[in-house]
Amino acid sequence: MSVKAKRALSYIDERRDFVVQIADSIWEYAELALHEHRSANCLADALRKEGFSVETGVADMPTALAATWGSGEPVIGFLGEYDALDGLSQKVLPVKEELRPGAPGHGCGHNLHGAGAFGAAIGVKEELKARNVPGTVKYFGCPAEENLSGKTFMARDGVFKDCDVCFEWHPGAINRPIAGSSLANNAANFVFYGRSAHAAADPHNGRSALDAVQLMNMGVEFLREHMPPRTRVHYAITDGGRQPNVVPSVAKVWYLVRADARDAVDELWERVLKCASGAAEMTETDYEIQMLKAIYNVLPNTPLIDLLFDCFDRLGPPEFGEEEHDFAEKISESISAEQKRAMLQRDQVPEHLWDRILCDEVLPRPERDDEPRGSTDVGDVSWCCPTARLRAACQVLGTPGHSWQYTAQAGMGIGHAGMLTAAKVMAEAACEVATNEGLLARVRDDFIRRTGGKAYESALPPDLKPAFHQFAGGGTGA
């Protein structure tokens, strides 16, 4: 099968070094959620150089942007992320060694994510220009995918509502479009307020906020037996008091509650709230809920998924050179056989690939849709407009997510190869949408069928602001 978007793909090749430079710059910046100032500016400057008009500060987030080129329909969007993860700083080495002690690092490859989407956007721009056909290309710079879900605030503000389609990719260990959904979720800080006292001399005069946090957590632990399948609840005590000889007057726990559908999250959330209320009553403390986010599960779109499979088959997998293979062999030594096997089974990777280090094939459609495991704020975008996603191989098979191994590979040729392949696959698919009215009609029909024709309604409280305070260090590792 021959490719159809020849100019788009050749332009991505022409601009290869520029796209890689963007990815490497963002990898170096490694900024936390909602504080990705240098990363967002890097992309905004690059988009302006490519002839896009750029709006910054979208949805009241200084690091969110929306860039536009062209006019008319269809309107095709690309989603780009660039936030890093706390504590995952790592040198470009196949052994664990921090670049900056305690600092953030791109342990989910979002430096590649944002740069790859940029590559796709500029490729489609060149294709439409060369063909002299109408169409609008949009690049959405989306902060805080990790933990704070910037796209939900953008969706609430109507940023995606005019798009006919959106495309998104994510670095992974395999090459395959994502056919399944994701987990919807809520997140919040529960802050308990008690009364301090000397922990030895007069503890009876104290009311421990930490006791309340621990009792809430215990209530949730007992609740687990009675949760529906495929639900997940995680928590982290972010403030447990300052010193053991003082009864803590303030304590805080950060909760993340997931389920496979938005209404299922709402139901489970009410039960978690009862655990908080009961803990406060037992300890004679007060508490407040600082809501952080509320996101939807991803809504698949069958015609777009089929299109991505066709385009990936046409273009083929990433090509890795000798340097990438050498690095991969060394880093694979840090991944146990059990860990690798579990990942391969989870992702339904054909057994003939199990002995390989890098995925050098485009995988067929899985026998069943991937069971929802993680969450993404792409879910909210997918309820605003038809959306499709893919994964491209940027790590060795078995690489754990959110790990130093992930960070290392996101900063070198293995990650670059997967990123450029993803950019080409998305560009090929987008150009097909832009020039095939019948395909676009099927995409819209599938979207209307799945949504029931209902307009998107954000699950966020209408007055909720992005939680800039949650990572006050802003990417410093503090």
Q: Is residue 441 part of a domain?
A: yes
Q: Mean pLDDT, to the nearest integer, of 407-429?
A: 98
Domain boundary (278, 295, 312) is at: 295
Q: What is the pLDDT of residue 472?
A: 63
Domain count, the chain: 2
Which CATH number goes with the domain that contains 429?
3.40.630.10
* Residue 110, domain extent: 6-182+297-451
Rounded to whole angstroms, the Cα distance separating 142 from 64 reads: 5
Quick one: pLDDT band at residue 52, thresholds 50, 70, 90? Answer: very high
Q: Is residue 456 part of a domain?
A: no
Mean pLDDT of the chain: 95
Q: Is residue 145 part of a domain?
A: yes
Q: Is residue 95 part of a domain?
A: yes
Q: What is the pLDDT of residue 388?
A: 98
Q: Is residue 404 part of a domain?
A: yes
Domain boundary (231, 265, 295) is at: 295
Report the SS3 class of residue 149. Answer: coil
Q: Mean pLDDT, to the nearest integer, of 269-296?
A: 98
The answer to whether residues 256 and 217 belong to one domain is: yes
Single-letter code of the amino acid located at 113: H
Q: Which of 273-277, 430-434, 470-474 has the lowest mean pLDDT?
A: 470-474
Rounded to whole angstroms, the Cα distance separating 467 from 478 reads: 17
Cα distances (angstroms) measured from residue 63 to each of 168, 405, 463: 19, 27, 20
The answer to whether residues 315 and 194 belong to one domain is: no
Rounded to whole angstroms, the Cα distance separating 395 from 397 reads: 6
Single-letter code of the amino acid located at 254: W
Q: Is residue 469 part of a domain?
A: no
Q: What is the pLDDT of residue 474?
A: 45
Which CATH number goes with the domain that contains 291?
3.30.70.360
The answer to whether residues 214 and 130 belong to one domain is: no
HSE-up (13 A, CA, CB side) for residue 203: 11
The answer to whether residues 170 and 201 belong to one domain is: no
Q: Is residue 175 part of a domain?
A: yes
The answer to whether residues 45 and 97 belong to one domain is: yes
Predicted confidence (pLDDT) at residue 314 exceeds the cutoff of 50: yes
The answer to whether residues 326 and 311 belong to one domain is: yes
Predicted confidence (pLDDT) at residue 367 exceeds the cutoff of 90: no
Q: What is the pLDDT of residue 3?
A: 78
Q: What is the pLDDT of residue 261?
A: 95
Q: What is the pLDDT of residue 477?
A: 31
Rounded to whole angstroms, the Cα distance separating 198 from 213 reads: 19
Reference 186, options 235, 228, 223, 227; nearest CA is 235
The answer to whether residues 274 and 389 belong to one domain is: no
Report the SS3 class of residue 360. Answer: coil
Quick one: pLDDT band at residue 471, thresholds 50, 70, 90? Answer: confident
pLDDT digits (tens, 9 = 90+) for 76-134: 999 999 999 999 999 999 999 999 999 999 999 999 999 999 999 999 999 999 999 99
Quick one: pLDDT band at residue 259, thresholds 50, 70, 90? Answer: very high
Q: Mean pLDDT, to the nearest integer, of 159-171?
A: 98
- Whether pTM > 0.75 for this model: the answer is yes
Q: Is residue 133 part of a domain?
A: yes
The answer to whether residues 289 and 412 belong to one domain is: no
